[in-house]
Amino acid sequence: MKLSIRSTTNLLSGKFGLFRRLSYTATPPQQWPENPTKINKVELCRKLSEVGSTGQKVTDVLHNLTANGFKLDYADLVFCLKRLRKYHRYNHCLEILEWMEKGSVNFRDHALRLNLIFNLKGIDEAESYFFALPPEAKKPFIYGTMLNCYCINKMPVKALALFRKMEEMNCVSSSLIFDNLMSLYMKVGQPEKVHPLVQEMKQRNIPLSNVSYYILLQSCGQLKDLAGLEQVMEEVERHSFLKNDWKIYSTLATAYINLGQTEKAVSTLRNLEGFLDYSYSFDRTAYHHLISLFARTGNKDSVFQAWGKLKSRFIGCHNKSYLIMLQTLSKLDDIEGLKMVLAEWESRYKSYDIRLPNVVIHAYLMHGMLEAAELLFKDTISRNVGQNLWYPHICFMDYYLERKQFDSALMHMEAAYSNGWKLCSDKLGSLFEHFVQKQDTCGAEKLCNMLKNVQALDSKSYLWLLQTYVAAGKEISGLRQRMEEDGINISFEHEELLSKIDRR
């Protein structure tokens, strides 16, 4: 049985609420020109990827292309969907999907659709779509996609139940399925369950993938199993396809570091560095790992050596590389190195990225360099970047909280909220404790009013407010009503405090 466009659309609208119901009368099917020109899929993907910076909609780009005589193949559009998904552009994927269906293109990749549903709307919507599919549409890879959703969502019970179902269907023959389960066990803190799965793969004659070995090495590191780690590497050496994988060396070095085997970690990193020197792989991420791992061994000279090699090997150094280097130097407490690298980036960047000065602002404040941090923050604000301006305010807030300068801390907290910062209870606790000690009900109320501009006060915030009034010995009317209006479940502790301050 083949799903119609309308039935497929209904599955994703109405009950599941992911895709809005599509109108087939408002937008007629696409009418191709008599002699359409096929656009290269890479060029198509480039045009769609630029949507984020141009302010256009994906559908606008697609309509313009077809209006100008270009034919868009189903396979090419799916290629673009997968490429955009790789970069977490899920809303743009949705726009492509809707445009295809409005043009009477029956989207047949249920596994891809299921993955998009999961990433856009979560596990409940994904489950609903999966269970609503007719039996003939549930191919093995659909089950594999659903298993992946459970594993990402850290749901071992449901993941194992689905795995057993897949076994009954005789469709457990891929290392990817086991890799998902092994990854799940690592996420839920059960690394001891990884090795039995590897043994099961070998019994079934399922070859281990690169990812299988990454996870196996990680589990040995987590379990402090040095002998197991060495045994896995002996096995790795027997596989030529693994010897040319830099991630194997990176994962091994990380495991050695976790085991406190610094010398072995450094030796492994030297091997990785030599491999990168003579390899044909141009992967900046490999150098990012090399820099970060050398830093974890405390080897600053090697960090700068790897940094120099990264810059010499690639034409132009991206913001991401500078960010990694700055974060590394911050962990090494190298203030002079931070200044030098930031100045180098500021002299050559193509697009301003506030994350880089944010790292340096945080490092300055951690070292008590308030004036330097304020100057850098003012420079950042002067660029009108409008990106993550809440983060430096949080850094300043922490600085002032540590020094018990609560008025300044509250000022920066308010600025952070106005710039999109989300509630963080540990920061609130420090401020409310200050108001309780100072018996400052005005300050506590000011903080509550500020919080209410962002979201309703929760039970804990009201508890702190009540404690402030009790400490000050002040009565107040209407506080119980405020709590009820905000939907607070008034506990015994709340009642006890209210009885001391509630003015009838």
Per DSSP, the three-state class of 404 is: coil
pLDDT band at 18 (very low <50, low <70, confident <90, very high): very low
Asked, for residue 453, whether it belongs to a domain, the answer is yes
Q: What pTM value is reported for the model?
A: 0.75
pLDDT score of 52: 67
Q: Is residue 408 part of a domain?
A: no
Q: Write out pLDDT tens, residues 150-186.
A: 999 999 999 999 999 999 998 888 899 999 999 999 9
Do the domain assignments include residue 55?
A: no
| Exposure on the CB side of residue 422, measured as CA atoms within 13 A | 0
Question: Does 486 or 182 have the greater pLDDT score?
Answer: 182
Confidence tier at 11 by pLDDT (50, 70, 90): very low
What DSSP assignment string belongs to 49-102?
A: HTHHHH---HHHHHHHHHHTTEE--HHHHHHHHHHHHHTT-HHHHHHHHHHHHH
Contacts with 210 (C-beta within 8 Å, 6 or more apart), sequence order:
241, 242, 245, 247, 248
Q: How many domains does the chain have?
A: 1
pLDDT band at 146 (very low <50, low <70, confident <90, very high): very high
Residue 447 maps to a domain:
yes
**173 is a domain residue:** no
Q: Quote the mean pLDDT of the chain.
A: 85
* 96 belongs to a structural domain: no
* Residue 466: inside a domain: yes
Which pLDDT does position 10 carry in this prediction?
A: 38
Q: Is residue 450 part of a domain?
A: yes
Range of the domain at 501: 432-504
